[in-house]
Amino acid sequence: MFTVVQVLRRVGVQTRTLAGCLQLDPVTVDESADVVVVGFGAAGACAAIAAREHGAEVIALDRANGGGATAMSGGIIYAGAGTTIQRQAGVRDSFEQMLTYLRLEVGDAVSEATLAAFVRDSPEMIDWLIKYGVPFDSTLCPYKTSFPNNRYYLYHSGNENAGAFRCHTPPVQRGHRVKGRGTSGKKLYGPLAKSALALGVRLRPHTVVTRLVQDSSGRVTGVDAMTMNHAPPRIRRLYAETAALSAKPGIYYPPLRRLMEHRLRKLEQRYARPVRINARRAVIICAGGFIANTEWIQRFAPQYSNGLQLGTSGDDGSGIALAQSAGAVVERMDNISAWRFITPPSAFISAIIVDELGRRIIDESRYGAAVGQAMVRNHGGSGWLLADAALMREARRQMIKQPLWFQRAQSTALIYADSVKAPSLRAVALAAGIDPEGLSATVKAHNDAFDSEAPDPAGKPAEFVRPISQPPYTLLNISVRRSLLNPTPMLTLGGVRVDEDTGAVVDESGKPIPGLFSAGRTAIGICSNSYVSGLSLADCVFAGRRAGMHAAQTASG
C-alpha cells in the first residue's frame, strides 16, 4: 500500500501548495478585512489583486489548496482586438471584428455595453496578466484543433472558422494559450496567486464558508466558516495532499474523488474549527459553478448527467447557494457546456457526424461544445463520426505530431476500441446500429455537393470538405455517454445575476445586495450563453477585476 504522499508523487501531483500556503499562521481568532474573497481560482485571484490595487485590505478563502478549476484547465484566455501577442504574431484583428464574432456567441447573456467593454478592454487585459507574471507566446498554430500541442500558443479556439460565423467576420486567432507544457492552467493560476500574496492578500486555504453574515439592514458584513488552518502541520499537509488528489487525477476517476472527499470530511469533522471573518466593505463570491452537484444537475439539466465533471468537488454550487441565501436570483441554470471534440487529428474535420438515423448533425468545423450541445439537445446524445479510408490514413499520420499525450491516448482509444469498420456504407451502418438508408442518403448529398461545387449541406466551409468515397468506411462512436476512454467533459454556465457595471449581486428586483459581489462561474457572465475555449477564463479575469475594484470602492459598513 502506498501513502497519500507516495501516490501523489507517482501521478505527478505537487504536494506543496503555492507560496507556502501550508506555512501560513494558524487562524485561531476572528479576522477582519475590507474585502473577503470566497474562492481563490482565476476569478478570486483577479478580484483580490484588483481590490489591493485600489487600496483595500483583502483576505481570500479557499476550501482546498487554491486554484480551483483554473489550475486544472487548459489555460486559454480568449482575447483579441489587437493584443500584444496578436501583433507579435502578425495577426490583424480589430474591435469591430471581435465584437461581431462575440455577438454571435454571447447572445443576450450580457448587455451590448458589457460585451463592448469586454472587447475594448481585451488588449489591456492581456497586458495586465503579463504584468503579473502570466507567460504568453505568439507562435501560431497552423491547423484547426481543439487544443494545440506544446509548439503552438495562439490559435482559433472557437467557431471562427465555421461557416455560420466566417460569413459575418473573417476568422481570427484569439485563443491565447498560457505558455506551459500540457494543460497550462497552472501557469495562469500560479503567477496570479503569487502576485496576490506579494501584494499583501492574506490567503486562508482549507477553509469552507458555511454562511454569509448580514446586519439588520441586510448588508453582507462577513462570513462564517470552518477552517483547518489551526490544525497540526502534519494534518494540514495530509489535508492538502488529499485535496490535491481529489482534484486531479480524481477528476478522471470519480471513485477516487469520492474516496478522497470522504477522507477530507473525516479530517474536517475532527480538526476543523469555526471562525468568523468580518468584511468592512464587501464579500466577493468566486466559488465556481455546480457541475459537481449531481442533485442540481438532475434538477436543472438532467440530459447532461452522463458527462465528466470538469471542475473540482468545490464546484458544487455552494457559492451560488450562499448568494441565494442573501436574496440572489439565478439564471441559465439549465445551460451546460458539453464538449465533444473530434480534433486532433485535424483530418477529422473533413469527416461527417451523423446520428442513429444517419442524419448529419452539425458542421464539423464547429467548436466541440457546439457539437456536444447539438448531440445532447437534438439527437439524444448519440453521434458517430464517419470517415473513409483516405481520411483514416491521414488521421493516423497526424496522430504522430499534432496531439498532446492525453489527446493521443483518447484518439487512439476512439480509433481502435470504439469504432467499427466495413467495406461498404450499408455494412458499417448495420455494424454501428445506424439506419443504412439514412446514412447512404446523407453521404450521397455530401458527395454530390462536393462534386458540383455547391455549398455543403451542413454549412461546412469548402476548404474542409472532402468526398467520402474510398472503402473501407469507419464509424467512430462519439456519443455522449459515461466512458473512461472517451468521456464528455462538462461545465455549468448558469449562476447568480449581477449588476454588469459593478459585479454586485442583485436580488429579484434587480437591486444590488449591499456588500455582496460575485465573479467567475458562480455568476452570469460573458460565456453564460455559449462556451468556446478561453471565454470562461477571460470572463474570470474581466469580471474578477470588475468585482474587486468596485468592492474595494464600497463604503465601509
Q: What average pLDDT score do residues 393-398 get?
A: 97
**316 and 381 belong to one structural domain:** no
Which secondary-structure segment (H or E) carries 32?
strand 31-38
- The dihedrals phi and psi of 74, each to the nearest 5 degrees, come to -75, -10
Question: Angle, to 10 degrees, between the axis of helix 254-271 and the axis of helix 233-247?
Answer: 160
**Domain ends where: 477, 508, 537?**
477
pLDDT tens digits along 126-162: 999 999 999 999 999 999 999 999 999 999 999 999 9
**512 and 462 belong to one structural domain:** no
What pLDDT score was predicted for residue 21? 36
What pLDDT score was predicted for residue 2? 33
DSSP code string of 450-512? HHTTPPPTT---GGG-----SSSEEEEE--SS--SSS--EEEE--EE-B-TTT-EEE-TTSPE
* Average per-residue pLDDT for the chain: 93
What pLDDT score was predicted for residue 486? 86
**327 and 189 belong to one structural domain:** yes
Report whether pLDDT(11) > 80: no
Q: Residue 298: which residues within 8 A CB-CB, separation 6 or more?
A: 305
Residue corresponding to grid cell 496522430: 399
Report whether pLDDT(195) > 60: yes
pTM of the model: 0.93
| Residue 214 belongs to domain spanning | 32-72+185-224+278-335+493-553
Q: What average pLDDT score do residues 357-381 get?
A: 96
Confidence of residue 4 (pLDDT cuts 50, 70, 90): very low
**Domain ends where: 447, 477, 507?**
477
What pLDDT score was predicted for residue 49? 98
CA 471 – CA 453 distance, rounded (Å): 23
Judged by DSSP in three states, 38 sits in strand
pLDDT tens digits along 488-497: 999 999 999 9
Range with lowest mean pLDDT among 176-180, 249-253, 399-403, 420-424: 249-253
**Domain ends where: 420, 445, 477?**
477
What pLDDT score was predicted for residue 189? 98
Domain of residue 309, CATH code:
3.50.50.60
Number of domains in the chain: 3
**446 and 536 belong to one structural domain:** no
Give a yes or no: residue 260 inside a domain.
no
Helices and strands in the chain: count of H runs, count of E runs: 19, 20
pLDDT tens digits along 420-451: 999 999 999 999 999 999 999 999 999 999 99
Give a yes or no: residue 249 inside a domain.
no
- Give the Cα-Cα-Cα angle 73, 79, 82 (nearest 5 degrees): 150
